[in-house]
Chains A and B, each alone.
Chain A
């Protein structure tokens, strides 16, 4: 079940009616809806999430109940090992076997080449969320949740279960405990976010896929201009696809009086790689910052090599989190390298030379920074959307090959880039001057016109059959 299907509409409608009619049973209704939502893919998945919930609930209660550091650490490690073990088994076993066979060759023949495993949807998201809860309890940042139903709902809350945002316990748990206020303002806001997400997904993201994926899938016969256009279109698609999911998740949650975290802040308009990661998949980037980067000493200003190493390691892990494939690892490391370059520039040149700092703030400097960041994303998408490194390298080779740039384009690049630029401008404009929230402050007529426009766009330009959200596979 995805947000773009009738089954979801039915589940949402029934849950809303029940929550309204039986406010005392709000937690039970939402928990049941969440498990139905998740088990709809595969009933066995529900057992996995229940297992993760039980382990983390127990571990957190144990940590809070014991003072001895050794006992507390043991419970923490059990939680971390269970979550990472589950994630590792389902997501990385076949990748590991592949590596072992590549390294050992014939010597690895007793081992199977792959196991028949199906990756449970959203496992990377809920294991991280659940694990962070236990770590926060261990660190004393939050008190453990006493009510097992509320905690189970925290792990499985269906709007954000399969593709985030990865919520923190101190933000989500209090909202799940207390019956939320709900009025027409909340109701309209939730529907607005849902509608906006639908338009982003069905009218923009799915159409960009139609235009760009064929280019990547016929990469060996394409020139560099076609590939650059396709890479930027795929990057734009990735944003619209993922942020559409997030908008719909947030909209669904608002209908139940819950506010999920923002996951994006102008990532397409970022003028540096650091700004990009401050605005892209914010809940994941802050997660790795708090639970990987900072504990490993990634911000030690006196030890630049350590900072660089930790940055590379963290970004490599971010890449690996996305998928069990060298292409994702390489994508993460590529971002890590650029982060290190940015760090060196920021720590060195920019601080020593005030003029360089002024240049960076000048519109021309900002534009150059944005163009460089976009170029990085073009390179990154070659890795992200290629099935293996050889195809990715072919695309990357094309980007630096003069003959590939001489090849006549087969795509209508004028119209293609014009559409991308319009989308980037709308994104930047809505992120600064006209945020979606402001629509709620307008008069009834303006709001109705806005919604009518969105409905018309859906009716006229939505793809007849949507494909699944990209981030569902992670």
Chain B
């Protein structure tokens, strides 16, 4: 016989909801305070250690350009983040070393999002405006916009949690309407609204990302909370779950142009570098570089193709640089920067 629960007066259990609400608010406040204290004490490593998560916090914790200071913001994906490279060996790290002895105090902030896609970069470019950088350098690649979206990218428009930055009205106003339309997904909107309440709601997926960094636990948290190539287990590459399907999205000019607009408005000097690639990958590009260069020139963004500077031997994968590649890239970039 089915068990009948104890009857309680009233239809809505107000008492339990009150206690529950109190517990949730208290937890959120404690996590919020702890997170802020912890983050403030972290050494500046030059790149976000939290892979795809806590990006909005990383951006918020970047101070704006100070008086007499040169601030350079780098935007990229895993290529700019430096796949399998120590932070100081990446071209961003090497630039920091070079500029550390410059006459003008120079701060280089690497906002590259591993696995990041175009929407992440556009949002970050819009967020950069409030930091008043001297220069903004975007290093983009086929993974970002010149080939059809990969299966993983089809999962979400934002790989990182940068969409939470849309809670800031100035960033929302800066972004094009079609991109904001894409953030109408209710789940995203709930996340954005909750993010306004404090860090506790922004970083709620961080524990999963941290657990994913542990090789023993990584299989349970692969692939969406952690960047693929951290703690990846051999053999996982072959796996494409049946419920993940690609909508076969292709290059979208409006998105590229929106990105260029954000770069122009973010800093007096904006440079877009067509990320050098191996010959084989270059041969498979679907969007001719001259179209990209022309669109950039029309908006006053410097377009640089560094392919000739970086030979095939300077890559660890078809698109990621090795140490020699990062050396050469940093040297060329230092020459190009005003």
Contact = CB atoms under 8 A, between A and B. Distances in A.
B24 A444 contact: no
Given A185-B6, A185-B8, A452-B20, A414 B216 contact: yes
B221 interface: yes
B12 A455 contact: no
Contacts of A189: 5
Contact of A187 (B13, B22, B156, B218): B13
B82 to A, nearest CB: 25
Nearest to A215: B235
Contacts of B225: 464
B3 A187 contact: no
A314 B208 CA distance: 44
Given A416-B219, A451-B20, A459-B204, A410 B9 contact: no
A170 interface: no
Nearest to A413: B216
B11 A214 contact: no
B41 interface: no
A443 B219 CA distance: 38
A456 B6 contact: no
B178 interface: no
Given A214-B219, A415-B217, A448-B16, A184 B239 contact: no
Contacts of B207: 460-461
Contact of B13 (A184, A222, A411, A461): A184
A461 B212 CA distance: 11
Given A217-B239, A411-B219, A464-B224, A451 B16 contact: yes
A188 interface: yes
A437 interface: yes
B187 interface: yes
A448 B17 CA distance: 7
A425 interface: no
A80 B118 CA distance: 56
B205 A218 contact: no
Given A452-B24, A465-B155, A467-B243, A210 B5 contact: no
B45 interface: no
Given A217-B239, A411-B233, A460 B205 contact: yes
Interface residues of A, number: 51
B181 interface: no
Contacts of A415: 216-217
Nearest to A9: B186
A188 B225 CA distance: 32
Interface in B219-252: 219-225, 233-236, 238-239, 241, 243
Nearest to A456: B27
B208 A182 contact: no
Given A187-B12, A415-B216, A410 B235 contact: yes
Interface string A187-216: 111000000000000000001111101110
A449 B23 CA distance: 8
A451 B23 CA distance: 10
B198 to A, nearest CB: 13
Contacts of B218: 412
A201 B223 CA distance: 17
A460 to B, nearest CB: 5
Nearest to B17: A448
A107 interface: no
A214 B238 CA distance: 8
Which of A181, A184, A456, A463 has the most chain B CB atoms closer than 10 A to its own CB? A184
Interface string A430-474: 000000010011001101110110011001110111011000000
Interface residues of B, number: 46
Contacts of A209: 241
B219 A183 contact: no
A259 B2 contact: yes
Contact of B219 (A186, A211, A447, A465): A211
B19 interface: yes
A5 B156 CA distance: 16
Give the one of B24, B217, B235 with max A CB within 10 A: B235
Given A186-B5, A444-B15, A207 B221 contact: yes
B205 to A, nearest CB: 7
A213 B222 CA distance: 12
Interface in A166-186: 181-186
B8 A412 contact: no
Given A188-B13, A189-B5, A448 B23 contact: yes
A441 B4 CA distance: 12
B104 interface: no
B5 A218 contact: no
B186 A419 contact: no
B3 A437 contact: yes
A215 B208 CA distance: 21
A448 B218 CA distance: 32
Nearest to A211: B219
A440 B16 CA distance: 11
Given A182-B11, A210-B221, A445-B19, A461 B216 contact: no
Given A185-B8, A207-B221, A460 B208 contact: yes
Contacts of B205: 460, 464
Nearest to A458: B204
B219 A210 contact: yes
Most chain A CB within 10 A, of B6, B9, B223, B225, is at B6
A2 B218 CA distance: 28
B288 interface: no
A221 interface: yes
B314 to A, nearest CB: 30
B289 interface: no
Contacts of A419: 220
Contacts of B220: 207-208, 210-211, 419
A286 to B, nearest CB: 16
A412 B215 CA distance: 7
A184 B11 contact: yes
A6 interface: yes
A185 B7 contact: yes
A473 to B, nearest CB: 10
B216 A447 contact: no
Given A213-B241, A218-B235, A452 B6 contact: no
Nearest to B11: A184
B6 A441 contact: yes
B10 interface: yes
Nearest to A171: B2
B335 to A, nearest CB: 42
Given A211-B219, A217-B239, A463-B224, 18 more contacts: A20-B11, A183-B10, A184-B11, A184-B13, A185-B6, A187-B13, A214-B235, A218-B235, A411-B219, A412-B216, A437-B3, A440-B5, A447-B16, A452-B20, A460-B204, A460-B205, A460-B207, A464-B205
Interface of B: 2-3, 5-13, 15-16, 19-20, 22-24, 27, 155-156, 186-187, 204-205, 207-208, 215-225, 233-236, 238-239, 241, 243
18 contacts: A182-B11, A186-B5, A188-B13, A188-B16, A221-B235, A411-B219, A412-B215, A412-B218, A437-B3, A444-B16, A448-B20, A449-B23, A452-B23, A455-B24, A456-B27, A460-B205, A461-B208, A464-B225
* 8 residue pairs, one from A and one from B, having the closest CB atoms: A415-B216, A448-B19, A412-B216, A211-B219, A214-B239, A185-B5, A259-B2, A452-B23
